[in-house]
Amino acid sequence: MKITIRHWHAIAQWRWDIGGTSDHDDADAEDDVCGICRVPYEGCCPACKMPGDDCPLIWGECSHVFHMHCLLKWLGTAASKQQCPMDRRPWVTAERKIAQPVAPAALPSTAPS
Amino acid sequence: MASISARRLRKELSEIHVEGCPVGINLLSADNFEQWLLSLEVMGESQYPGEVFALKFRFDPNYPISSPAVQFVVDGKYTSPVHPHVYSNGHICASILGNEWSPVLSVIGICVTLQSMLASCKKKERPQDNDRYVLHAPDNPKKTRFHYDVDTV
C-alpha cells in the first residue's frame, strides 16, 4: 500500500506563562482576561490586530497582570495617578522571572578543596 | 475599527445577557455604545422601599480608560433618590466615578456600588449645597470637581 499525503495542517497552541499556574485547568480560563479590556491574555488589546509578541503582557510587583498596551494607556492618564487598576497601589513593573532549569555547571561548588 | 469602548461594552453586554443582572438592577436600554440606562432599586430594609430609580451611563470612546458619566435620571417617570451624596438633578458625588475610577470597574460594578450606597443611607436628605450646585451644574457630571467626604455613607 502506498499513501500519498496531499496536504496537512499543523496546529499549535500557545499560552503566556503567567507563572505558578502550569496545572491550570479550563475552569479558570475565564479569569484569564485583562481586567482593563476583558479580552483573554492570549488575545490582544483592542488596539492590536494580532496576539503574540507584539501585544505582550505586563506584570506588576503587586502580581496583577494586564495587556501591556492597556496598562500603558491607563498609566498615561492623569487619572491613573500611576496606580495599579486592581489595588490602587503605585504601579511597579515586575522583573519577569522565567523559570529555567538550573544547569548543574552553574551551581556553586560546595566541595572543600 | 471599533473603538475601545465599543469592544469592552459589547463584552459587558453579552455578560449581562448570559449571567443576568444582580438583584434589583435591570438593563433598561443599551441600544448603542454611547448611552445605557439601567434601573436600580434597593433590596431589603432601606430608606427607599418600593422606589425604583434609573441610572444613565454616558461613555466616551476611551471607556474604560476614562470613566463613564453616571447620573440618576430625573424626568417625568424617574426621580433622583434623596441621599446626602445625590443632588436633585441626579448628579452623584461618589469617588469611584471621579478620582477613584479604575478601568477594571464595569457598568454593573458601578450599579452595585451605588445600590449599596443607597442601602447604607440612614437619613434621607440632600447634600448641603444642593440648591447652589444644581443652579450652576454642568450637563455632564464629569465636569464637576466634587469634594469627596471621608465618610462611608
pLDDT tens digits, B61-76: 999 999 999 999 999 9
- Three cell numbers written together for B129: 449645597
> Looking at the domain assignment, is residue B147 inside a domain?
no
Q: How many angstroms separate the CA of residue B109 from the nearest CA in chain A?
A: 13
> Looking at the domain assignment, is residue A47 inside a domain?
yes
Active site residues of B: 93
CATH number at residue A39: 3.30.40.10
> Looking at the domain assignment, is residue B23 inside a domain?
yes
> Looking at the domain assignment, is residue B142 inside a domain?
no
Q: Number of folded domains in chain B?
A: 1
Q: Calculate the average pLDDT of chain A.
A: 81
> Looking at the domain assignment, is residue B24 inside a domain?
yes
Contacts of A46 in chain B (CB under 8 A): 2-4, 7-8
CATH number at residue B68: 3.10.110.10
Count Cβ neighbours within 10 Å for each residue of A65-76 and write b for 16 or more, e otherwise.
bbbbbbbebbbe
Backbone angles phi, psi at A79, to 5 degrees: -65, -25
> Looking at the domain assignment, is residue B60 inside a domain?
yes
Average pLDDT on B132-146 reads 89
ipTM, interface predicted TM-score of the complex: 0.83
Q: Do A36 and B104 touch (CB under 8 A)?
A: yes
Prediction pTM value: 0.82
Interchain CB contact of B127 with A (< 8 Å): no
Closest residue in chain B to residue A87, using alpha carbons only: B102
Q: Which residues form the domain of B88?
A: 4-136
Q: Number of folded domains in chain A?
A: 1
DSSP secondary-structure letter at B113?
A: H
> Looking at the domain assignment, is residue A53 inside a domain?
yes
> Looking at the domain assignment, is residue A72 inside a domain?
yes
